[in-house]
Structures are given as structure tokens and as C-alpha cells.
Chains A and B, each alone.
Chain A
Amino acid sequence: MTSGEPLLQVRDLVQEFTVRDRGGVKGGTVHAVSGVCFDVWPGETLGIVGETGSGKSTLARSIVQAPRPKSGAVLFRGADLVALRGSALLRARRHVQMVFQDPFGSLDPKWRVRDIVAEPLIAYRAGDRAARRRRVDQVLDLVGLDPSSHGGRHPRELSGGQAQRVAIARAVALSPALVICDEPVSSLDVLIQAQVLALFERLRAELGLSYLFIAHDLALVKQVSDRVAVMYLGKLCEVGPGEAVYRQPLHPYTRALLDSIPSPDPAAARAATIIGGEPPSPIHPPSGCRFRTRCPRAAERCAAEEPALRELAAGHSVACHFPLGETQR
């Protein structure tokens, strides 16, 4: 899996937004993404978990330069998307596609399914009309839709699961190398969710795709990801192989996330301690470690000094001054 060069290298990515008060006076800066670094290897799925406001969606959009990040580098196959402009950026970005949470929000209600899926092909002038038509049929078939019956429909004539399949067909039409999925199954019922997840897994195997799989549900992310990164208030606090993050979490926030997942087995004891409080505002993030205001292990050092992401075990890194040891697990 991890051979050769990484497909995507994200380096010190920073994205900030200015919020304005009444009258256009600068009200503050939202520190949405604050220095995020990670790699995605060919054929790998990297899962990113975070709660509302953790900056995970902003991170996804910054990678595809929509909008451009404030600083940092996004190297896709060695080319820095942040530095590229115009047609050079378009060419480089062709092999990075996105799938969003709400399929009805991301599909034009006035377009037919066939035209929606053909749009990226037209935008990149891929083949002639007949070739595009064949490709649309092919990808609709690939995602489990019938080109002859579903192809002519409008999004409103589809169920949520079918609409998400259309969004996936559109994303894979140009044979991308990387698909960024931002909460791709959160709006679906659990059985439909399983169907769509199985589709993502099949496409990964059949097309050799890499995914950046972003979601709030750690259990779901772990199920489809080789490695998992945990994000809190604009920063990564832990990155590692999914199994290691689950079996031996190093960051107290990861532990809290794991403890908060309700188990369907009533015999499994509910976590004795539930983490209190809520994430602070990204306009005024805490000094030092951003999690310290809710952390049961926080000490003076956590306020004074920002913990850097450091590797404690093979491929397993944590940004914490006092990581959880084997005994405290």
C-alpha cells in the first residue's frame, strides 16, 4: 500500500475566515484549519473524524482550492495546487473529485441524471458526444443505476441513496485518482448507508481509488479507512492505523470520542466518564493545546506550549504532552 510517492501531501495547511460585525467592522478571525499536515498514499483510504466546527469540511475544500487556503501546500502527484493558477490548476485537479453530504443540494434539480454525470466530461472535453454517452452509461451502471431508466430522471425523482449514487457516478466519471468524500452517507438511513458504503468499497477495489473519507462518526470511518486522523478545532490531534487508534488511542480526545459511541450491546458498560463541555469558539481558540479546556489530563504546560504531532509508535502520531499510555487505556 505505502509504496513510492504519496498521492496527496498536505503541508501546514491554514485556512482562516474574517467575520464582520454590523457595519463591516472586522469582528474576528475564524481559525478553521490551523497547520494541518498529512499524506494520502495511492490506493489508501485516509479517514478524518471530527465534530461540528472541527474544520474537517473546510480542510476538504481547501485541498481542492475552493476557496484557496491562506497558506500551506497541497501537493497532488508532486504539483502544488496552491501555487497553480488557471488552466494549470484545472488540469492538476482533474483527478481529484468530491462527493458531498447532501446529494439533493449538490445535484442541480433542473438537470437530468445523464446530464449531471456528463458535466465533468464536457468540462474537461473528454471524448466526443458518443464516447461521453458511453462513459455515462458505464459509470451509471458501475454505481448500480440503470442508465435507461434512471438516466432520464431528475434528482427529485430519486431516493436519497440513488441521488448519492448519481453524485458518486459524477465523481468517478473522469477516472480520478483521489475522491474526497465529505460526510457522504450522513444524510442516509442506516440500511441505505450500508449500501452506499459497500459501493464506495467496491469502487475502491475495482478502480484503485484513494479516498479522503471525512465524517463525524468514528466507527463508520474506521470501518472503511486504512488510517484514521482525528481533528479537533482546526488541528489534527492523532493520526494512525485505524486499528491502533481504536485499540490504543493516544490522545484524550480520541478516547472521549470512542467512549461516546453508544454500543448496541446492552451488556457493554456505558463509559463511566463522559467528557464535559463543548468545543470553544474557533475565533478565540485556547492557547497551547486546543483541547486543554475539556481535557481531564490538562496541566500548566498544555496552556503554555502547543504540542506538536509526534510519532510514538509505527505510523501512529499524537499531538499531546501527556499521551495516554498502555496502562491508562
Chain B
Amino acid sequence: MTDSLLEVEDLKVTFPVRGRELRAVGGVSYSVCAGQTLAIVGESGSGKTVSARAVMGLLPASAVVTGSARFQGAQLIGLTDDRLRQYRGADIAMVFQDPTRSLNPTMRIGSQIAEAVRAHRRVTKAQAREQVTELLRLVRMPVPERRYVEYPHQLSGGMRQRVMIAIALACRPKLLIADEATTALDVTTQAQIMELLLELQAELGMALMLISHDLGLAASYADEVIVMYAGRIVEQAPASRLFTRVRMPYTQALFEAIPRLERPAHAPLPVIGGRPPDLAALPAGCSFAPRCRSAADDCLAAEPPLAEHEPGHRWACWHPCGAGDGDAA
């Protein structure tokens, strides 16, 4: 991993809510390299989507964003919408969870993709049409010529998501952010779309950022995995390493909670009690401490910093699993 495409440093996002400050993202740093697949995993409210949207400048005006996000060296945080638009949709593109709501129901598929093509490039109508057909072919859309004149409601969920990907790829982005892009899809369709994304990544040499609640999906498809909890990164490691040498008890809990085919029927499920903390009233120490099996007094007193304890493996925990007192717990 040599040249980093996107470098995020100490990104913080807060929202004022009824006089209180809701800390959605509390200082995250990471980088995405060209051609890499990075997954950001977390539950609802962990800040995974907000941090990506902050980078893209897609948060409501009430959000207070600080920190830095550099794309190929250029600072994105604080840019005006006009300036950001040079990057957004061109160099960095995004695919969202719900293709039905992201597509205009009254516009033909072809025109919607053409709109994306023409937003960033001066091309004639005929050229645009040609490029749209090519994009539809690129996302392996069956009978692309026919899809061109169809409306979103005439397509299935999987095909609509292919259209969204075609739109995202219109300007051949260097970074594609897929925010829960397969969550609304059936498992066989999800497998198709994930394979498509990885194939396209290899074909076009783009970096891929997968935002997902599904650690299984992330570990299965990404090179590198970041786990977020209550607005902070709690663990980061290469996917292969994370699975075999998980350190943060929260990541461990996530792994254990994934339904496994190997588990016999009615086997007792490992259960972690409680729920994520209120982001407007975060505890003093580690946010996960109240639910953690290995929590001790020091966990409640001070927040553990995220540090690279082993080469390529960062975690934020005073008592990591599989190391000294973490084992005993």
C-alpha cells in the first residue's frame, strides 16, 4: 500500500440536538489506497455512514465537521459545494442502500445515467447515449439496449442497484463508496452485486470503500477492515488478521453474533447485554466498557487510545483479547 488516495485525519462530526451536542463521529483517522478494498463496519449509530458522508460533504447544514480529509492531497473538508462537486461524482462516487429511493421514478434509466455522464463531461447526446449503453454493459445488465428506455419500477432490486453502480461509474471514479449497497438485496443477489463490484474494481483499478453492518460480508470481501463503535474506530486490521487475531472485545462480540451454519441447532448463543451508549451523553472511559466482558476499573476511567500495537493492526482497548489479562476475563 504505497500511495494513499484518501487520507482522513481526526475527523469529528457533531450535531446539535435540543441544546445538547450529539457526537456522531469522535475523531477518526484512516486512509484508503488506490486499488484497495476497505470496509468500515459498525452497528446503527456507530458513525460509519456519517463519517463517509462528511468526507463527501453530504451532511445537513447543522452538522459541525472538523478535522481533515485529503483526496490526492487536496483538502475536502470546508470546501464549498461548488468546489466539492469537482470531486463528488467524478473522482469519488457513492452507491447507497436503497436504489428505489435514489432513482427518479419518473425518468427513464438511460436518461438518469446520461445525466451523470453529462454532469461532469461535455459530450453530445449521441456520445452520451453510447457511453450509457457501455456503462450498462459494464455492470452486466442483461439486454442493455432495452433497459435504456425502461423506468426504475420495471426493474428488480438487483438490477436497480446495477443502475446505481452504472451512475456511480459514469466518470470512472478513483474511489467508490458503497454504503450498505447490498443490504436491501436478497442473499443470492447480494453475492452477484459483490462479485460485480470486485470485478469492476479490478477492471477499473479503483479503490472501494464498503460501509456495512455485516462483519461477515466485510471480512469476506475486503482487504482491510475498520470496526467502529459509538463514533470511534475501535479496531483496524487486514481482514485475514482480524478474523484470526481479534483484539477488541467488541469486534469479538460482533464475530460471535454472526449466525453460523456450523453451529448446531439450539446451541446457546453468545449474548452481549445492553445497547450502544447515548451519543449525547457518552461515558468517560471506553464507550464499550458497560457491555464488555473484560472491562475493569481503568476502562471506566479513561478512554483507550487507538494505537498500532502490532504491525498493521490498530486497536483501542486496555484489556485486549488474546493478550495477558484479556485472556483471563
| A, B from the same assembly | yes
Q: B-contacting residues of A (Cβ < 8 Å)?
A: 45, 51-52, 159, 161, 189-195, 197-198, 201, 204, 216-220, 222-226, 242-243, 246, 256-268, 270-271, 274-276, 278
Max count, chain A CB within 10 A of own CB: residue among B186, B214, B239: B186
Given A258-B261, A263-B216, A278-B156, A223-B267 contact (CB < 8 Å): yes
**B101 is an interface residue with CB less than 8 A from chain A:** no
Q: How far is the CA of A271 from the CA of B191 in the complex (A)?
A: 9
Known: A223-B259, A226-B266. 11 other contacts (CB 8 A): A45-B265, A51-B188, A195-B271, A198-B271, A257-B187, A260-B187, A260-B191, A263-B216, A266-B240, A266-B243, A275-B191
Q: Please, which residues of chain B bring their CB within 8 A of the CB of A191?
A: 43, 253-254, 257, 272, 275
Evaluate contact between B275 and A161: CB separation under 8 angstroms. Answer: yes
Chain A nearest Cβ from B55, distance in angstroms: 24
**Inter-subunit contact A262/B221 (CB<8 Å):** yes
Q: List, in ascending order, chain A residues with CB within 8 A of B263's CB.
A: 222-223
Given A225-B265, A274-B192, A194 and B187 touching (CB < 8 A)? Answer: no
* B214 interface neighbour in A51, A216, A223, A262, Cβ under 8 Å: A262
Q: Assess the A201–B266 pair: CB atoms within 8 A.
A: yes
* B194 cross-chain contacts in A, Cβ below 8 A: 262
B157 near A190: Cβ-Cβ < 8 Å: no
Q: Are A194 and B269 in contact (CB under 8 A)?
A: yes
A194 to B255: give the CA distance in the assembly, Å.
Answer: 11
CB distance from B253 to the nearest CB of A (A): 6
Task: Contacts A201-B266, A219-B261 given; indicate if A264 touches B255 (C-beta within 8 A).
Answer: yes
- Shortest A234–chain B CB gap in Å is 16
Name which of A222, A246, A266 has the most chain B CB atoms within 10 A of its CB.
A266
Among residues of B, the one whose C-beta sits closest to the C-beta of A193 is B257
Q: Which residues of B contact A266 (CB under 8 A)?
A: 219-220, 239-240, 243
Query: B residues 49-88 with Cβ under 8 Å of A?
Result: none
Q: Chain B: residues with CB nearer than 8 A to chain A?
A: 43-44, 156-159, 186-192, 194-195, 213-217, 219-221, 239-240, 243, 253-261, 263-273, 275
Residues of chain A contacted by B44 (CB below 8 angstroms): 189
Query: Total A-B pairs in contact (CB under 8 Å)?
Result: 129
**B189→A267 contact, CB < 8 A:** no
- Bound CA span A170–B260, Å: 29
Chain A residues, CB < 8 A from B240: 266-267
Inter-chain CA distance A41–B270, complex, in Å, is 27
Residue pair A261, B271 in contact (C-beta under 8 Å): no
A265 and B243 in contact, given A193-B257, A201-B269 (Cβ under 8 angstroms): yes
> What are 13 residue pairs bridging A and B, where the CB atoms are less than 8 Å apart in the complex?
A190-B258, A191-B272, A201-B268, A216-B187, A222-B263, A256-B188, A259-B191, A264-B220, A274-B195, A275-B191, A278-B156, A278-B158, A278-B159
CB B154 to nearest CB in A, in angstroms, measures 11
- In this complex, which of B159, B195, B256, B266 has the most chain A Cβ atoms within 10 angstroms of its Cβ? B266
Query: Which one of B217, B269, B271, B272 contacts A262 once the chains associate, using CB atoms below 8 Å?
Result: B217
* A191 and B265 alpha carbons, distance in the complex (Å): 19
Contact assessment for B187 and A264 in the assembled complex, using a CB-CB cutoff below 8 Å: no
In contact, B221 and A159 (Cβ under 8 angstroms): no
Tell whether, in the assembled complex, residue A276 and residue B260 are in contact, meaning their CB atoms are under 8 Å apart.
no
Q: Which has the most chain B C-beta neighbours within 10 Å: A194, A256, A259, A264?
A: A264
Known: A201-B269, A262-B216, A266-B239. Is A278-B261 also a contact (CB below 8 A)?
Answer: no
Please determine whether A190 and B220 come into contact, CB atoms closer than 8 angstroms. no
Assembled-state Cα–Cα distance A220/B263 (Å)? 10
Asked if B213 and A189 sit within 8 Å, CB to CB, the answer is yes
Query: In the bound complex, how far is the Cα of B265 from the Cα of A219, in angstroms?
Result: 10
Bound-state Cα–Cα, A275 to B273, Å = 38
